[in-house]
């Protein structure tokens, strides 16, 4: 059972376009993380959002955590070829004294020059 | 400081064999987790270790096992390999088990296992 649904699964756009990636769940999370993974490498953490309704900005990337802490979105403004990669959201839940991120299947983004 | 180091990077094994993968976390990080990544299922949690103890385990068969040493280095073992075990195996570290919630994991580059 996939706890986190990401959409769209694939995205192919031109440089300069804007895009939004969605991450939805029926579960409530302690926090939600976004990672980016490039081919042949492991995921790299972009941001962690903790509070319902929280909005964080990282240059051209805007991350929002839903009020109920069940969903999140990632918006990229004026995409660049360097933004190409697999974007993964991860909902963090408490388990056995630890916090375990559960990942969505990812959104594969290609930005064409 | 050095990142998370996984060895080997690539591995080809035959069905029925066993394999051991190694992970050295970031210096000072004491919590190590393992994930399996496949195109169909994405990243699936395998297990988490802290202070040489397994704290959490994902929904994988007993053929998948792991351990952690006193220096925080970790190994995972897969016995009786099946074709479906072909995947990218990722190791991730955090300073303590609870810190991953706010500070996330640092992942290694993974070991690409191909079972033929």
DSSP states of A15-51: TT--EEEEEE-SS--SEEEEEEE-TTS--EEEEEE-S
Q: How far apart are CA A37 and CA B106, in angstroms?
A: 12
Which of B37, B51, B60, B93 has the most A C-beta neighbours within 10 Å, making it the best mutation to test the interface with A?
Answer: B37
SS3 at position B102:
helix
Q: Do A48 and B104 touch (CB under 8 A)?
A: yes
> Before A8, cis peptide (omega within 30)?
yes
In this prediction, the residues of chain A whose per-residue pLDDT falls under 70 are: 1-2
Give which of A17, A4, A24 is closest to A84, Cα–Cα: A17
CB A79, CB A105: distance < 8 Å: no
Distance from CA of B51 to the nearest CA of A (A): 13
User: Residue B96's pLDDT is what?
Assistant: 75
Does residue B113 have a pLDDT over 90?
Answer: yes
Q: How far apart are CA A13 and CA A64, in angstroms?
A: 22
pLDDT digits 0-9 by tens, B6-64: 999 999 999 999 999 999 999 999 999 999 999 888 999 999 999 999 999 999 999 99
pLDDT digits 0-9 by tens, A71-89: 999 999 999 999 999 999 9
User: Residue B1's pLDDT is what?
Assistant: 57
Whether A39 contacts chain B with CB within 8 A: no
User: Residue A76's pLDDT is what?
Assistant: 98
Among B41, B105, B108, beta carbon nearest to A101: B105
User: Residue A97's pLDDT is what?
Assistant: 74
Which residues, including other chains, have CB under 8 Å from residue B53's CB and lie 6 or more apart?
Answer: B68
């Amino acid at each position: 059972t996939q706890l986190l649904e990401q959409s769209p699964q694939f995205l192919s756009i031109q440089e300069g376009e804007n895009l939004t990636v969605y991450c939805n769940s029926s579960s409530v999370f302690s926090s939600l993380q976004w990672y980016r993974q490039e081919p042949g490498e492991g995921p790299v953490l972009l941001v962690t959002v903790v509070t319902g309704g929280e909005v964080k900005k990282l240059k051209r990337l805007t991350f929002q955590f839903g009020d109920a802490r069940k969903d999140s979105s990632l918006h990229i403004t004026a995409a660049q070829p360097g933004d190409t990669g697999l974007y993964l959201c991860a909902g963090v839940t408490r388990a056995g004294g630890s916090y375990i991120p559960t990942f969505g299947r990812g959104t594969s983004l290609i930005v064409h020059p | 400081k050095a990142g998370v180091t996984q060895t080997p990077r690539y591995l080809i094994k035959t069905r029925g064999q066993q394999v051991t993968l190694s992970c050295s976390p970031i210096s000072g990080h004491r919590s190590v987790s393992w994930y399996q990544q496949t195109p169909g299922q994405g990243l699936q949690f395998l297990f988490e270790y802290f202070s040489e103890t397994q704290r959490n385990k994902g929904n994988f068969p007993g053929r998948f096992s792991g351990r952690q040493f006193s220096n925080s280095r970790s190994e995972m073992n897969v016995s009786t390999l099946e074709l479906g075990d072909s995947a990218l195996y990722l190791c991730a570290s955090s300073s303590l088990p609870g810190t991953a919630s706010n500070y996330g994991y640092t992942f290694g580059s993974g070991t690409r296992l191909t079972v033929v």
